Amino acid sequence: MSINDFTSLEFKSRIITAEFILPSGEITEKDIEIRTSPVTGRTSRIAFSRINENEPGTGRLPGPPPDRDNISKCPFCMPQLNSQTPRIHSNITRSGRLIQGDSVLFPNLFPYGSYSAVSLFDRHHYVEIGNASVDSYFNSLINCRNYLKKILNHDPDAIYLAITQNHLPSAGGSLLHPHLQINADRIPSNHHRTLYKTADMYYRNTGHDLFSDYLAHEKEDGRRYIGRTGSWEWVVSFAPEGFFEIWGILPQKTSFKQASDTDWQTLASGIINIQKFYRHLNRNSYNLGLLITEDESSRIELRIVMLARSNYAPWVRSDYTGFEVMLGDMTTFIPPEQTAEMAREFF
Binding site for Zn ion (CB under 5 A): 74, 76-77, 125, 177
Nearer to Zn ion, 76 or 214 (CB): 76
Nearer to Zn ion, 76 or 211 (CB): 76
Sign of CA dihedral 197, 294, 183, 156: positive
Cα 267 to Cα 131, 228, 250, 322, distances in angstroms:
16, 10, 9, 34
Nearer to Zn ion, 74 or 288 (CB): 74
Question: Smallest gap, in angstroms, from Cβ of residue 330 to Zn ion?
Answer: 32
Nearer to Zn ion, 125 or 303 (CB): 125
Give the span between the Cα atoms of 308 and 315, in whole angstroms.
Answer: 17
Question: Smallest gap, in angstroms, from Cβ of residue 77 to Zn ion?
Answer: 3
Question: Smallest gap, in angstroms, from Cβ of residue 196 to Zn ion?
Answer: 37
Question: Smallest gap, in angstroms, from Cβ of residue 111 to Zn ion?
Answer: 20
Give the span between the Cα atoms of 151 and 154, in whole angstroms.
Answer: 5
Give the span between the Cα atoms of 192 and 251, in whole angstroms.
Answer: 18
Question: Smallest gap, in angstroms, from Cβ of residue 123 to Zn ion?
Answer: 8
Cα 121 to Cα 45, 103, 266, 345, distances in angstroms:
35, 5, 16, 26
Within 104-253, residue ranges assigned H as helices are 134-154, 190-206, 210-221
Give the span between the Cα atoms of 176 and 190, in whole angstroms.
Answer: 28
- Answer for the pair 222, 337: CB distance below 8 angstroms, yes or no: no
Nearer to Zn ion, 47 or 81 (CB): 81
Peptide bond preceding 66 in cis form (omega within 30 of 0): no
Within 160-305, residue ranges assigned H as helices are 190-206, 210-221, 261-280
Question: Smallest gap, in angstroms, from Cβ of residue 74 to Zn ion?
Answer: 3
Nearer to Zn ion, 77 or 304 (CB): 77
Nearer to Zn ion, 125 or 283 (CB): 125
Q: Name the residue number minimizing CB distance to Zn ion.
A: 74
Question: Smallest gap, in angstroms, from Cβ of residue 76 to Zn ion?
Answer: 4
Give the span between the Cα atoms of 185 and 148, in whole angstroms.
Answer: 11
Question: Smallest gap, in angstroms, from Cβ of residue 61 to Zn ion?
Answer: 21
Nearer to Zn ion, 75 or 111 (CB): 75
Give the span between the Cα atoms of 235 and 227, in whole angstroms.
Answer: 7
